[in-house]
Chain A
Amino acid sequence: DAKTTQPNSMESNEEEPVHLPCNHSTISGTDYIHWYRQLPSQGPEYVIHGLTSNVNNRMASLAIAEDRKSSTLILHRATLRDAAVYYCILTLSGNTGKLIFGQGTTLQVKP
């Protein structure tokens, strides 16, 4: 199964940009890259997803490497509310319902 590798933890200062990396060297051609985050004591929430091109939405940007073996979630201006565990996830080819979350990156935001 396709797996992702993320750093266990990262720190950022408030109002500075944050780049959260994810390696997925075994990604298949039709796997989508998804990012979710989990705030303390809450269920995960959707952040962004993409296939090949970079994506932007109101929450973040997703930069996907040309070979698709890695991607970066970009929070343009971190706030204290962005402190959470961020999960980089791949769907599995073949339109299955399986989803592998992995360990995620714990982001600390310092005032």
Chain B
Amino acid sequence: QSVLTQPPSVSGAPGQRVTISCTGSSSNIGAGYDIHWYQQIPGTAPKLLIYANSNRPSGVPDRFSGSKSGTSASLAITGLQAEDEAAYYCQSYDSSLSGVVFGGGTKLTVL
């Protein structure tokens, strides 16, 4: 059971917009700790996609955006492309556990 809760799967057709939620609690997201997102294509290492809630590292397309509110956060992907098919993980810090926490991951299928 992950500290951060994500839907196991989402799907969308090419060109559509999808969102992936990440729900935490008062000891992580709700405490003001930042949310970060990773993309993991099968068979490869995770790749940083969004850091500090809404910032994109260099090279990440602006089709990817992040937001945070209260004890939850969201990753939005617009103009869905076949290459976006991957697993997506949210990550934060938890003060009760005094450590890094990940979500359970969401598998995105591009129909």
A binds B: no
Using a CB–CB distance below 8 Å, which chain B residues touch chain A? none
